[in-house]
Amino acid sequence: MEVRTIPAIEEMTPAQRVELMEELWRVMSKSPSESEPPAWHNTVLEERRQAVKNGEVEYLDFDDVKSRLEGLIK
């Protein structure tokens, strides 16, 4: 897919959308310093760290989460 031939996203097939995403990811991953996460990501991460530190939330291991989800879908 060439830039000058990219149709509107709404007009793309699912395969074309995936191809476009893969190309964007390939280009962006070549220079990660140019695609820094937005500042609000750090704010959210810090809020979550504080919530864990204050005992407001807790981490669950994969097996616990899996068991809970399996219980919900049965």
3-state secondary structure 16-70: HHHHHHHHHHHHHHHCHHHHCCCHHHHHHHHHHHHHHHCCCCCCCCHHHHHHHHH
Residues 2-50 pLDDT 10s: 667 788 999 999 999 999 999 999 988 888 777 788 899 999 999 999 9
What's the rounded Cα separation, in Å, for the pair 53 and 56?
Answer: 8
**Residue 45 in tokens:** 């991460």
pLDDT digits (tens, 9 = 90+) for 37-66: 889 999 999 999 999 999 999 889 999 999
pLDDT for 30 equals 87
Query: Residue 16 is encoded by which pair of tokens?
Result: 């074309």
d(CA 28, CA 41): 18
